[in-house]
Amino acid sequence: MGQQISPTKTPRLYATYSLGLFSGGQWDMMGVIIPLFSVFVGLNPSEIGLVVAARSALPVLFSVHGGILMDRLGVRLVGFWVGLAAAILPLFYPFAGWFWGLVVLQLLSGLITTLAMASGQTSINRFSKGDPAVLGRYSFVTRFGNFFGPFIIGLIWHHFGSGPTFITISLWGVLTVISVLFIPSGTQPKKRGKTSCSDLLSRRKEFMRALSLAAIPTVSFVLLLTVFRNCPGAIQASFFVVYLNQIGISGTIIGFLTGLAEVFVGLGSLTAGWFAARANAHWLVILFVASAIFLICLTPLIAGVMTLLITATAARGFAQGINQPLIFSILSRAINDKQQGAAVGLRNTVNRFSNIIVPIVMGFMAEWWGIEVSFIIIAVLFIGACMIVAAQIRYFGFLAGEETCIGPKVEK
C-alpha cells in the first residue's frame, strides 16, 4: 500500500512531477528530431549512430559528479542552471548541419538534459522512500511529457521544418526551469554562506564513496539491468526512427509511435506496485526488460503492418513502465537519503553508456549487413545477457534471497 502524502509535502511532489515531465519530454523530443535532422543533412548510418551516441558521452563521465552536486548543493540550485542551459542549447542546432557541429552540440545537450532528468529522479527518490506506488505515479505523470513532446515535434518537423522544431524544444526547456523554481527551497541541504566555485568541483573522497556503491550486490544488479533496460530506448532514439523513415513512414507517425510507447510506459508504471506485491522484484525486472528488447527488435519484421507495429510499441512501453519503478525502488531502498543523488548519477552513468554503445554498434552493423540484421543481432546479444544474469541468480546465488534483491530497507 502506498504511503500517505502529507499536505505540506504536496507542493514539492507536484513540482517534482512537473520537473520529471518536462525534462524527460525534452530528452525524447531530441531523440526523435536528431535522427531525422541527421538524415536531412545527409549523414550516413555510422555517422548517425555516432551523433546519436554523442549525447551520452559526457553523462558517462559526469553523471556521478552531477548527482554528488545535487546531494551537496540541492536539487533546486543544480536543476535551475541545467534547466536554463537545456532551454538555450536547442537554438543552435539549425546552424550546425554538419557532422562535427552536431557531435559538439550533442555532447553538451546530452549532459545538460541528463542532469535535468536526474534532478527529478533524485527529488522523487528522496520523497518516496522507495515506495513503488509513489514511484509508479511519478513515472505515470512524467510520461505525459514523453508522449506529447515527441508527437508535437514530429508534427512540427513534418509541416514546418527544422527551425520551428528546435524553437519548440527550447520553449519546452523553459518549462523545466519554471518547474524547478516551484520546488520549495526548504527541501534543500542547509549550507553555511554562499555557494563558491570550489563547491562545484569534484572531491575525490565523495567520488570514491559514490563509486563504492557499485560494490553493493543490489546496486550492481540495478546497474547491470539498467544497461539492458536502456537498450530499447537507445534503439528507439536512433535506428527505430531511421528504419521507419527509410520505409516511408512520416515524421508525424514516428513521433506518434514514440509518444505511444511512453503513454504505455506510464500505464505500466501504475501496475508496478501490484506486480511487486506478488513476485520478487528482480525476476520481474529481468522478465520485462527482456520482453521490451524482444518487442522493439521485431520492428523490421512487423513495420509493414501498422496494426502490429502499434501493438508491439504499446506492449514494449507497458513492459518498460513496469520495470522502471521497480529499478528505482530497489535502488532507493538500498541507499540512504544522503547518497540518493550519487546513486542516481551512478545509474545514469551506465544508462548513458548503453546509449553510446547501442547506436554505434547498430550503425556499423547497419552499414556492413543492413539495418534489419542489426536488429536481430542486438536482440540475440541483450536477451542472451538477460538469460545469463537470470541463471547467475538462480543457480549461483548472485543475490542471496528476496531481501537482498529488493535491497534491504535502509534506515533513513
Q: How would DSSP label each residue in 245-313?
A: HHTT--HHHHHHHHHHHHHHHHHHHHTHHHHHTTS-HHHHHHHHHHHHHHHHHTHHHHTTSHHHHHHHH
d(CA 332, CA 328): 6
- What's the pLDDT tens digit per position in 105-118? 999 998 999 888 88
45, 47, 48, 52: CA torsion to nearest 10: 140
Percentage, residues of the chain above pLDDT 90 = 25
Mean pLDDT for 318-346 is: 76
Contacts of 407 (CB under 8 A, 6+ apart): 130, 218, 219, 329, 330, 331, 332, 333, 334
Q: Which triple of cell numbers denotes residue 203?
A: 572531491
Q: Which domain holds residue 167?
A: 9-185+210-406
Pairwise pLDDT comparison (194 vs 361), residue with the higher score: 361
| The pLDDT value given to residue 44 | 87
Per-residue pLDDT at 301: 94
Burial grade of 66 (CB within 10 A; 0-12, 13-18, 19 or more): buried
Is 80 exceeded by the pLDDT of residue 228?
Answer: yes
Question: How far is Cα 9 from Cα 127, in angstroms, rounded to an integer?
Answer: 9
Helices 45-54 and 99-128, packing angle to 10 deg: 40
Q: Residue 412 falls within a domain, yes or no?
A: no
Q: d(Cα 38, Cα 49) in Å, to the nearest integer?
A: 10
**Residue 98 falls inside a structural domain:** yes
- Say if 282 falls within a structural domain: yes
pLDDT reported for residue 366: 87
* Predicted local distance difference test score (pLDDT) of residue 7: 43
Q: Provide the pLDDT for residue 332.
A: 72
DSSP letter for each residue of 326-360: HHHHHHHHHS-GGGHHHHHHHHHHHHHHHHHHHHH
Residue 291: pLDDT band with limits 50, 70, 90: very high
As to burial, measured by CB atoms within 10 angstroms (0-12 exposed, 13-18 middle, 19+ buried), residue 94 is: middle
- pLDDT per residue as tens digits for the range 231-288: 998 898 788 888 998 888 888 888 889 888 878 988 888 888 888 888 888 889 999 9
Residues 6+ apart with CB under 8 A from 173: 22, 26, 83, 86, 87, 88, 90
Work out how many domains the chain is built from and give that number: 1
Per the domain annotation, does 202 fall within a domain?
Answer: no
Indicate the average pLDDT of the chain: 81
pLDDT in tens, 18-61: 888 898 889 889 988 998 899 899 998 888 888 988 888 888 77
Task: Tell me whether residue 46 is in a domain.
Answer: yes
Q: So what's the pLDDT on residue 410?
A: 42
The answer to which of 147-151, 291-295, 305-309, 329-333 has the lowest mean pLDDT is 329-333
Answer whether 264's CB lies under 8 Å from 318's CB: yes
pLDDT of 50-96, one tens digit each? 898 888 888 877 777 777 788 778 888 888 999 999 999 999 999 98
d(C-alpha 284, C-alpha 277), whole Å? 11
Q: Give the residue from 331, 327, 330 showing the smallest Cα distance to 319.
A: 327
Tell whether the model's pLDDT for residue 219 goes beyond 70: yes
| CA nearest to 303, candidates 379, 378, 383, 243 | 243
Provide the CATH number for the domain around residue 125: 1.20.1250.20
Helices 57-73 & 99-128 angle (0-180, nearest 10): 40
Residue 304 domain-assigned (yes or no): yes
Does residue 62 lie in a domain region?
yes
pLDDT of residue 274: 87
pLDDT above 80 (res 328): no
> Does 322 fall in a domain?
yes
Q: What pLDDT is recorded for position 286?
A: 92
Give residue 188's pLDDT.
54
Contact 257, 310 (CB under 8 A): yes
Which one, of 29, 22, 27, 25, lies nearest residue 251 by Cα? 29
Which three cell numbers mark 92?
543552435
Side chain identity at residue 235, one-letter code: I
Query: 163-195, pLDDT tens digit by residue?
Result: 999 999 999 999 999 988 887 765 555 554 555
CA distances from 152 to 251, 258, 283, 296 (A): 10, 11, 36, 22
pLDDT tops 90 at residue 8: no
